[in-house]
Structure 1
Amino acid sequence: MYLFFKQLLLPPANILVLLLIGLLWSRSLRIQRFIMWTATFSLGALSLPVVSALLMAGLEPYPALKATDLIHTPAKAIVVLSADQITNAPEFGQPVVGKLTLQRLRYAAWLYRQTHLPIIVSGGSCANDTHSLAQLMAHSLREEFGVPVMAMEEQSVNTRENAQFTADWLTAHHIKTILLVTHAWHLPRAVAAFERVGIEVIPAPTGFAYDKNSQFKWDDVLPTAQALLMSYYALHEYSGQLWYTVYARFNSV
């Protein structure tokens, strides 16, 4: 039910709901037109690469780590956060990690080869799943990347719980500082969540969506499905940051 309402509040579902309201609104033609035009404009704008890039720009404050940053890093472990999975993967005989999770694992494996720090994967089970995301991540790292995994956190279902439950394991093993691997646009929320539970974080971003050095192209003002997806991720993060801020304030009272 939580996932249903979350999807309903984000594009494109929320825009389709707005369009439906506009179609059914019969009290005022002026209001009906306003609703319809607002929904149409929103869908078009969020589908433009130039708009999705601007939305993502505000979510990627952490630069990519340099090789020199890793030489004397104070981090004692690499923590990788889950994102998605592919449940229908008959060619593998079981569910596998999705595209976003795979991007994070690839970078975590690279970091391991540079630092040889132990890896902790974090991700619980979705409804009716027999495998946790952490299990799928550990399997991918071991079998596909040839990288060992020290521990799996398998209870979390969101970023806040990623931090909470992983921090329990880290504290028990006297680890205070970590390299935190996730997408660049997810890091602000993830870093804040881990810092709230007392873990010092060195951001290790991957999967950057915004390129500050890219040149404007005319096709940046043509709508694409990929741009709409990036806008979805961006709005998901902005709403998540707002919710976590409200949650932290009410739970600190």
Structure 2
Amino acid sequence: MPFDWLARNLLVNLFLPPVNVLVLAVAAFVVWRRCPRVGKTLAVAAALALWVQAMPWFGRQLADPLEVGAVLELPPLDAARQLPSAAATLPQAVVILGGGATRHAPEFGRESGADVNDATLARVRYGVLLARRTQLPVLVSGGSPTGEVVEARMMAQVATDEFGVPVRWIEGQSLNTAQNATFSARMLANAGVSRVYLVTSAWHMRRARDQFERAGLTVVPAPCCNANAFESDVMPGWWPTVGGLRTTHQALREWMALAVGH
């Protein structure tokens, strides 16, 4: 596991829930005896921070601005491809971005017992559906940030073995979204492809679209896997939940990545 990748992730997580709450709690414990008033203030701040960050409503407010591009409607898409001008204006390929992997799935028989995680599986599932409907070739993109299994190779295996859709291009060098875009654009340019459907999670689409357009591609966003919707039993979202904390963590991390241009 690369040291710089590990150090960067440890630093980033200091500012994300639940670690940011633990930092406040530890600070409260340390200063309580010497300065009780400050200690109590920090303890209250930690409790409030945990409550607010775990509210589904709060996570939703952070995630909403990240979601760009409407969900594609497949019937109108089918009709558009029948038009005489379709070949000159519509996308020429489907690009699916990876969202992580797991090393705890030996039942699939892949290298090192690895498999795509839930986010990546959902993206691949939607991407191959889109590719099948449009009859377009597929590019999968995702490297190996931990220095272990290459994410794109597993994505290609899932697409081919489990969904029956072949993958034409496997981009397995990228370590972040900016590199996803740069390396994918180079591969596609060699094949004369300049217009793509870009498949990734809804909360990741803003950053992904910007990076791929910066790399010179014309992008039609194809967002999927909106995991930020309210749970029906916690409406209107004020009560803290584990899901709410996860949404806040995810959205804050995405805003940080946008800020540094990754």
TM-score strictly above 0.5: yes
- CA change 1:218–1:188 in 2 (3 A) is closer
Identify the match of residue 140 of structure 2 among 121, 127, 130. 121
In the alignment, structure 1 residue 59 sits paired with structure 2 residue 59: no
Deviations 1:184-220 (A, max 9, x none): 11000000111111111100000123559x9895572
Identify which of 237, 243, 248 aligns with 2:260. Answer: 243
Query: What is the aligned length?
Result: 243
Change (3 A) 1:200 1:140: same
Q: TM-score, normalized by length of structure 1?
A: 0.89
> Of the candidates 39, 43, 55, which is equivalent to residue 32 of structure 1?
39
Answer whether contact 2:228 2:247 (CA < 8 A) is retained: no
Of stretches 216-225 and 115-124 in structure 1, the one that deviates more from structure 2 is: 216-225
The 3-state SS of whatever aligns with 1:64 is coil
Report the residue type matching 1:42 in the other structure. Answer: A
Q: 2:22 aligns with which of 12, 16, 21?
A: 16
Percent identity over the alignment is 34
Structure 2: give runs of 5+ residues left out of the alignment.
1-6
List per-residue Cα deviations over 1:19-49 (Å, max 9, x = no partner). 1112112543222222222221111111112
Q: More displaced, 202-211 or 235-244? A: 202-211
Decide whether aligned partners of structure 1 residues 215 and 35 sit closer, same or farther in structure 2, where only a CA change above 3 A counts: same
Say which SS state the counterpart of residue 197 (structure 2) adopts. Answer: strand
Query: Structure 1 unaligned runs (5+)?
Result: 248-253
The match for 2:51 is 44
Instruction: Using the TM superposition, give the Cα deviation of residue 152 of structure 1 relative to its aligned residue in structure 2, in angstroms.
Output: 0.4
Matched AA of 1:25: V
Aligned-partner Cα distance in 1 for 2:20–2:229: 28
Q: Which moved more, 1:3-12 or 1:37-46?
A: 3-12
Distance 1:215 1:83, change over 3 A: closer
Q: Secondary structure at the match of 1:179?
A: strand
Task: Give the equivalent residue in structure 2 for 1:250.
Answer: none
Q: 2:184 aligns with which of 160, 163, 166?
A: 166
How far apart, CA to CA, are the structure 1 residues paired with 2:159 and 2:119?
A: 14
CA–CA distance in structure 1, aligned partners of residues 222 and 260 of structure 2: 23
Question: Does 2:96 correspond to 1:77?
Answer: no
| Aligned partners of 1:80 and 1:104 also within 8 Å | yes
Q: Secondary structure at the match of 1:127?
A: coil
CA RMSD of aligned residues (A): 2.0
Partners of 1:36 and 1:46 in 2: CA distance: 15
TM-score, structure 2 normalization:
0.86
Which shifted more, 226-235 or 59-68?
59-68
The residue number in structure 1 matching 2:104 is: 88
Per the alignment, do residues 156 and 33 of structure 1 end up closer, same or farther by CA in structure 2, a change over 3 Å counting? same
Deviates more, 1:188-197 or 1:88-97: 88-97
What's the counterpart of residue 251 of structure 1? none
Q: 1:138 aligns with which of 143, 153, 156?
A: 156
Q: Deviations over 1:71-101 (max 9, x none)?
A: 3361011000001111121222331110000
CA distance in 1, matches of 2:244, 2:192: 42
